[in-house]
């Protein structure tokens, strides 16, 4: 097995002064990996350049057997292939030596979120807690060269005349980070110190997001939209504490690959303040359907809605209705396709011993197939009365029933206080909009009614069943139609 390599030398006095002023030794770190997913992909190489207050610089690096296939594009970028890794240690075999070199150090990495996400995930698999102080050299560059475009390693090398004998190799890139710190310490020590201290005091942000982006985020309720390159909408979210929620996306400890991708791709954040939680929930639901951000999982479209329409006592089987009006109290479930609706009815028949003929799932006079296999209780052969059968069907469907509208007509639901106060106008579980005065209410009640939306229904049902919010409801009168 090939052993990790290590060399040492002394650094310039300004860099040693930086380390002394920060109060802890530095460890410039870089990793090469098999891909961008910290849960699946693995490291192929690690490089560390340690600098202490005495001016001693130590370099340590090791190839790592990822025990994974290396994609061709990764080999093309790094030059690391399976042949190079033959005989290389696994992370398990080097993790103690690596931990010993990083413990007690301030870890500095270029786009630190990526490297630290992988490193923490790898240490967790070894049951080792790894929570170092971290500095991101991308953010330091942004702070030191405000208004300048380009803060990647190649841009820094071109701007500052830095050199790298092995670009896209772990130790080579870690050396560039150390060179950057050394040059900035020699020419702009106080500014570099201020940038390091400021970064340690503010919440962690994606490397490409300016710290000023935090200032525009409200502490109260609202909806936030996260954009990537070329203004591609990545994600829409909501919270009663927008600023806090956005920062949770960008925490240092990345346990989810989606959060890491979001942090890496974020370029700007837009926020829409709302009167309260209900307004935020409704706006988020609508914007996701309209804008279809790439990282939101819930992208249900209203026109895809199918339901089971059935009236107890009418003597007709349930009917699959797609794209039509939902009738609260007589519509059951919400399905993406007619096939999904029929399959749900078939499951109900199997679980409750109901008759396929009575349910409209099978034609003919009987007996139904379910009765032949002793599943149906006999509504198709007179053993069970139609009324008894339909009573059991009503009980089975109750769990997915669209609730009856509990009011005689439209209602207003007041939310917010002072200048942010609005009245949500709702009728038959359909959200008509937010009004600030009686004229707005009349206009909303006169407009063409939107289609029933399952997400809106669930939001309103949960919100209005809460006694705290129910007290804010008041009946509204529909305006008279013009002659």
pLDDT at 219: 80
Q: Is residue 195 part of a domain?
A: yes
Q: Is residue 206 part of a domain?
A: no
Q: Distance of CA 125 to CAs 92, 245, 372, Å? A: 9, 28, 54
Tokens of 68: 């994974």
**For the chain, first and last CA: distance in Å?**
92
Same domain, 151 and 43: yes
Q: Is residue 321 part of a domain?
A: yes
Please identify, among 201, 220, 253, the residue that sits at the C-terminal boundary of a domain.
201
Where do we find the tokens 């106080």? 190
pLDDT (mean) for 388-404: 91
Same domain, 11 and 79: yes
pLDDT at 337: 86
Same domain, 257 and 308: no
pLDDT at 324: 64
CATH number at residue 182: 3.30.420.10
Average pLDDT of the residues of the chain? 87
Q: What share of the chain has pLDDT > 70, as a percent?
A: 90
Same domain, 291 and 353: no
Q: Is residue 18 part of a domain?
A: yes
Give yes or no for residue 422 having a pLDDT over 80. Answer: yes
**SS3 category, 403:** coil
Q: Is residue 275 part of a domain?
A: yes
pLDDT at 394: 92
Same domain, 320 and 378: yes
Same domain, 197 and 219: no
pLDDT at 475: 86
Same domain, 288 and 320: no
Same domain, 224 and 128: no
Same domain, 179 and 226: no
Domain that holds residue 432: 411-475
Indicate yes or no: pTM above 0.75: no
Burial of 465 (0-12, 13-18, 19+ CB in 10 A): exposed
Q: Is residue 448 part of a domain?
A: yes
pLDDT at 383: 92
Confidence of residue 32 (pLDDT cuts 50, 70, 90): very high
Report yes or no: 367 and 374 within 8 Å, Cβ to Cβ: no
Tokens of 65: 């057997």
pLDDT at 344: 92
**261-283 pLDDT tens trace:** 888 888 899 999 998 999 999 99
pLDDT (mean) for 110-128: 90
Please identify, among 298, 316, 336, the residue that sits at the C-terminal boundary of a domain.
298
How many domains, in total, are found in the chain? Answer: 4
Same domain, 217 and 197: no
Instruction: List, as own/partner pairs, every contact residues 307-312 make where C-beta atoms lie below 8 angstroms and the sequence separation is at least 24, other chains included.
Output: 307/331, 307/332, 307/333, 307/334, 307/335, 307/341, 307/402, 308/332, 308/333, 308/341, 308/344, 308/345, 308/397, 310/393, 310/397, 312/390, 312/391, 312/394
Same domain, 441 and 370: no
């Amino acid at each position: 097995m090939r052993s990790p390599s290590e060399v040492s030398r002394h650094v310039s006095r300004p860099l040693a002064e930086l380390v002394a002023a920060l109060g802890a030794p530095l460890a410039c770190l870089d990793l090469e990996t098999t891909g961008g997913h910290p849960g699946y992909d693995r490291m192929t190489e690690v490089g560390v350049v340690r600098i202490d207050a005495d001016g001693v610089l130590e370099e340590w690096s090791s190839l790592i057997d990822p025990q994974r296939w290396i994609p061709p594009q990764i080999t093309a970028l790094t030059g690391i292939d399976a042949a190079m890794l033959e005989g290389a240690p696994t992370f398990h075999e080097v993790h103690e030596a690596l931990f010993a070199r990083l413990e007690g150090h301030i870890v500095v990495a270029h786009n630190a979120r990526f490297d630290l996400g992988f490193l923490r995930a790898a240490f967790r698999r070894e049951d080792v807690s790894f929570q170092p102080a971290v500095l991101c050299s991308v953010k330091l560059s942004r702070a030191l060269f405000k208004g300048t475009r380009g803060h990647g390693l190649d841009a820094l090398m071109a701007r500052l005349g830095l050199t790298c004998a092995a670009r896209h190799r772990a130790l080579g890139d870690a050396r560039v980070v150390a060179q950057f710190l050394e040059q900035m310490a020699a020419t702009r020590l106080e500014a570099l110190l201020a940038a390091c201290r400021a970064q340690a005091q503010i919440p962690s942000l994606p490397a490409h997001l300016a710290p000023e982006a935090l200032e525009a985020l409200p502490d109260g309720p609202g909806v936030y939209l996260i954009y990537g390159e070329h203004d591609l909408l990545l994600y829409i979210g909501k919270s009663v504490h927008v600023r806090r929620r956005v920062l949770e996306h960008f925490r240092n400890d990345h346990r989810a690959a989606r959060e890491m991708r979001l942090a890496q791709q974020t370029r700007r954040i837009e926020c829409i303040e709302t009167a309260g939680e209900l307004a935020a929930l409704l706006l988020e639901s609508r914007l996701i359907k309209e804008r279809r951000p790439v990282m939101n999982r819930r992208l249900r479209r209203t026109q895809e809605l199918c339901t089971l329409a059935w009236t107890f006592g009418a003597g007709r089987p349930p009917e699959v209705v797609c794209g039509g009006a939902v009738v609260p109290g007589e519509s059951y479930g919400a399905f993406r396709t007619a096939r999904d609706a029929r399959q749900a009815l078939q499951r109900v028949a199997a679980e409750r011993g109901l008759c396929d003929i009575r349910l409209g799932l099978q034609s003919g006079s009987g007996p139904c197939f379910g009765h032949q296999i002793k599943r149906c209780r006999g509504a198709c052969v007179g053993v069970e009365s139609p009324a008894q059968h339909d009573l059991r069907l009503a009980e089975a469907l109750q769990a997915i029933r669209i609730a009856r509208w509990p009011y005689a007509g439209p209602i207003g639901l007041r939310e917010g206080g002072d200048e942010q106060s609005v009245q949500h106008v709702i009728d038959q579980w359909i959200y008509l909009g937010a009004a600030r005065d009686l004229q707005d209410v009349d206009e909303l009640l006169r407009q063409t009614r939107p289609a029933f939306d399952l997400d809106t229904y669930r939001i309103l049902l949960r919100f209005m069943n809460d006694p705290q919010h129910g007290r804010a409801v008041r009946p509204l009168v529909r305006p008279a139609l013009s002659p």
